[in-house]
Amino acid sequence: MGTVRNDRTCGTSGISKRGTHGTSGRVKRHLAILGAALTAVAVAASSAGAGAAQLEKGCYDRAAQPYTSAVDSHLHFRPFGGKAIPFGELANYLHKSGVRHASMYGIGQTLPADSSCTYYLDCPGTPVVPSMKNDFVNASDYAAEKPEDPELTLSMTFMDLRRPETIPPGIALYDREFPGMFRWAGEVNVVKQALFPNGHQAATDENIKNWAPFMNTLRDRGIPITLHSDLGENAHPTKYLHLMEEVLRRYPHNKIVWAHMGLSKELTTMNPDEHIKIVQRLLDEHPNLTIDLSWRVLEDAYFSKPGVRAKYASFLDRNPTRAIPGTDFVASRNKDYRTYEEELEVTSRINKALDDEAFRDIALGENYYRLLGSHEKAPQVCRAR
Ligand SMILES: [Zn+2]
């Protein structure tokens, strides 16, 4: 397995290297950052001379440095089935594309071991269920490599939210096997319509009530949980809103992350104003709620439509501390670096429309670091532009 730390000079990426990132961290990391900064200065100098001077001040020059997100809070290191991209290779994708920190998700729905499918939608009728296997592979890979650049946060993805009684013993097992290593939970499915043909059912209010023991554990440990909870479908855009509301009502002190703001391939035509109004209300009512902007469906079905990007950008500018970025890349072997780079670019396009405060908080990772309880800080954005 290749190390992720010997690729500092790779310049083949279409995304230029990120120059400054954080002010804390280990010496090794500083040297790496310095190296990357020098590369960025060299790259930037030809096209934007001002970039070099601003880099010296340690601020982030949006005119000369990438708009792609510096953190990937939603990245599936394991596929639904079939072969995965090897850990070292995927870590190198992050390094190469300027992503400095990522959450290491398993996958909330795995195909049976004897299935030849790599994507559940290709195999309706084949049951998919949460599993510990992918978390164990991730934890073992992580423990063997312990990469520093990118830094990675292990996430528990095994939780079957319809069988909450199985979750505390699962966490206890992880505590024994990998003490202190899992610092995130999710992405786990409250309701995911795309999985209905594969036997998935929405969690019920009764299930949600019975989450209390494991939600208390997550709360006490300050562990965020990313929930995939579809808002609805095109014919009934708010069909499942009541489930997210029930979760938020019952667990106001948990760090809850709402994956994709509830949007999905089943909900591509909702009126953006109505969507924003609902999300704004939930953010106002629930201070511990964070929205996850991952998945290219958001760009393709919403942000890229005429007039819509500006609406979401001003919504995020009004709520700069409440969102985190991600690709939702799934590491199946039929993909390569180009796929990751493209998904990062597409999911980052919204960043260009953000004001400096929201750009720093969201794209440069400040919100992600704070949610994680990390000491890492995002760089300040340079004032003069
Ligand atoms: Zn996902």
**Domain map (residue ranges) of the chain:** 66-354
The CA 70 to ligand 1 mean position distance, Å, reads 18
The CA 292 to ligand 1 mean position distance, Å, reads 10
The CA 109 to ligand 1 mean position distance, Å, reads 10
The CA 62 to ligand 1 mean position distance, Å, reads 28
The CA 81 to ligand 1 mean position distance, Å, reads 15
The CA 331 to ligand 1 mean position distance, Å, reads 11
Please name the residues in contact with 295: beta carbons below 8 A apart, sequence gap of 6 or more.
74, 259, 260, 263, 326, 327, 328, 347
The CA 31 to ligand 1 mean position distance, Å, reads 33
pLDDT at 9: 32
Q: Percent of the chain having pLDDT more than 90? A: 74
The CA 269 to ligand 1 mean position distance, Å, reads 20
Q: How far is CA 13 from the centre of its chain?
A: 21
Distances (CA, A) of 311 to 10, 272, 304, 353: 37, 8, 11, 10
The CA 35 to ligand 1 mean position distance, Å, reads 32
At 219-230, the pLDDT tens digits run 999 999 999 999
pLDDT at 199: 85
The CA 128 to ligand 1 mean position distance, Å, reads 15
Distances (CA, A) of 16 to 20, 99, 294: 12, 11, 21
| Residue 330 near residue 279, CB atoms below 8 Å | no
The CA 54 to ligand 1 mean position distance, Å, reads 36
The CA 164 to ligand 1 mean position distance, Å, reads 21
| Mean pLDDT, range 63-89, rounded to an integer | 94
At 161-189, the pLDDT tens digits run 999 999 999 999 999 999 999 999 999 99
At 228-265, the pLDDT tens digits run 999 999 999 999 999 999 999 999 999 999 999 999 99
**Full-model pTM:** 0.86
At 113-168, the pLDDT tens digits run 777 777 777 788 877 788 899 999 999 999 999 888 999 999 999 999 999 999 99
The CA 43 to ligand 1 mean position distance, Å, reads 33
The CA 67 to ligand 1 mean position distance, Å, reads 22
Q: What is the mean pLDDT of the chain?
A: 87
Cα 134 from Cα 118, distance rounded (Å) = 14
The CA 74 to ligand 1 mean position distance, Å, reads 6
**Hey, what CATH topology would domain 66-354 get?**
TIM Barrel (3.20.20)
pLDDT at 4: 39
Tokens 């209390």, residue located: 212
pLDDT at 222: 98
The CA 105 to ligand 1 mean position distance, Å, reads 8
At 287-345, the pLDDT tens digits run 999 999 999 999 999 999 999 999 999 999 999 999 999 999 999 999 999 999 999 99
